[in-house]
Amino acid sequence: MICSKCGSQVEDGVKFCPSCGADLTSEAGQSSTQYERVEGETVNAGSSGYQSTGFEGKGTVNDRNIVLAIILTIITCGIYGIYWMYVLNEDINKLSGHPEATSGGMVILFTIITCGIYGLYWYYKMGERVEEIRAKKGMPNGSSAILFLILGIFGLGIVNYCIMQSNINSAVA
């Protein structure tokens, strides 16, 4: 008999593996087929058994309805706006070619910790990334970074979200 825990050879009738101490009584009645371990052979080392497609965790960027997002943000008293901020950050990072940039969750956390100051910096960085996306798609460039910063200073962040989403929608379409 072969121990299923450590793979060592065990005599028939033994209740515990002498190498690792595993209980062999439950194994004896479960299966009559025994598998031998081949020395030097590695089975599924570092593999989960699934074939990699190259798109794990990347997802797709979706076209979103801006009016519906505004209505949901108002109805939920801003909770949907937090989700929208997260999604905008992730989508813009993907489209601009910066998937390793600050994640949406970290942006929300930093904005809360700094009482909104990081949010102003985030608006500026998103403006720069929107310009990168527009340049990649051959669209005319502007100065979105400064516009986003000024709108953010005056408390019009939702307008920034709308402009960002509009640019994402045109880049995805």
DSSP states along 15-84: SB-TTT--B-HHHHHH-S---PPPTT--SSTT--SSPP-S-TTT--PPP--HHHHHHHHHHTTTHHHHHH
Helix (H), strand (E) counts: the chain: 7, 0
For residues 10-20, one letter each, b for 16 or more C-beta atoms within 10 angstroms of the residue's C-beta and e for the rest, the string is beeeeeebeee
Give whole-number Cα distances, 48 to 6, 45, 53, 57, 97, in Å. Answer: 20, 8, 13, 16, 28
User: Looking at the structure, do residues 16 and 85 belong to the same domain, yes or no?
Assistant: no
131: tokens are: 């310009």
Is residue 34 included in any domain, yes or no?
A: yes
Q: Is residue 167 located within the same domain as residue 130?
A: yes
Q: Is residue 117 domain-shared with residue 34, that is, in the same domain?
A: no
Distance CA 165, CA 80 (A): 14
pLDDT of residue 58: 53
> Are 90 and 168 members of one domain?
yes
Domain hosting 6: range is: 1-41
- Res. 131 pLDDT band, cuts 50 70 90: very high
Rounded-to-integer distance, Cα 49 and Cα 46, Å: 9
Same domain, 93 and 155: yes
- Based on the fold, state whether residues 75 and 36 are members of the same structural domain: no
In the block, residue with structure tokens 């080392």: 45
Q: For residues 95 and 142, state if they share a domain.
A: yes
3-state secondary structure of 2: strand
The pLDDT score that the predictor gives to residue 44 is 45
* pLDDT reading at 116 higher than 70: yes
> According to the model, what pLDDT value does residue 78 have?
93
Both 35 and 97 in one domain: the answer is: no
Predicted confidence (pLDDT) per residue in 86-108, tens digit: 999 999 999 988 888 999 999 99
Number of domains in the chain: 2
Predicted local distance difference test score (pLDDT) of residue 93: 92
Query: Which pLDDT belongs to residue 11?
Result: 80
pLDDT digits (tens, 9 = 90+) for 40-76: 544 444 444 444 333 344 568 888 999 999 999 999 9
Q: Would you say residue 114 lies in a domain?
A: yes
Same domain assignment for residues 74 and 151: yes
Using pLDDT thresholds of 50, 70 and 90, give the confidence band for residue 24.
confident
**Is the model's pLDDT at 29 over the cut of 70?**
no
Statement: the pTM of the whole predicted model exceeds 0.85: no
Q: Is residue 155 part of a domain?
A: yes
Amino acid at 87: V
Same domain (yes/no): 153, 74: yes
The pLDDT value recorded for residue 49 is: 44
Q: What is the C-alpha separation between 104 and 90, in angstroms, rounded?
A: 6
At residue 55, the pLDDT reads: 36
Same domain? For 76 and 36 the reply is no
Q: Looking at the structure, do residues 84 and 6 belong to the same domain, yes or no?
A: no
Mean pLDDT of all residues belonging to the chain: 81
Residue 162 lies in a domain: yes
